[in-house]
Amino acid sequence: MNAAQQSAFTQASAVAPGTLLLTIAALAAVLYLTWLAWIAFGQFHAWRDHRATLFDLTWITLRAAFIVLLLGYFLRP
């Protein structure tokens, strides 16, 4: 954005563009980290109840963590 666009955006929304971008990125981070915790706890409970192996627990949690790392890289403010 150039200076005129930033000024117009700030006047129309009463929020600076950088602040809005940071807020959206923070909300996305909360959502995908909550998703990761849900996946990890679900797999732990499946492993504890002998519905999954330790390999399944590790592999699924690592895949979810990799997705979270990619999202964190692409959604950074």
Per-residue pLDDT of the chain (77 residues; tens, 9 = 90+): 899 999 999 999 999 999 999 999 999 999 999 999 999 999 999 999 999 999 999 999 999 999 999 999 998 87
Say how far apart CA 66 and CA 44 lie, in whole Å: 18
Could you tell me if 40 and 62 are in contact, meaning their C-beta atoms sit under 8 angstroms apart? no
Say how far apart CA 57 and CA 38 lie, in whole Å: 13
pLDDT at 77: 73
pLDDT at 76: 83
pTM (two decimals): 0.83
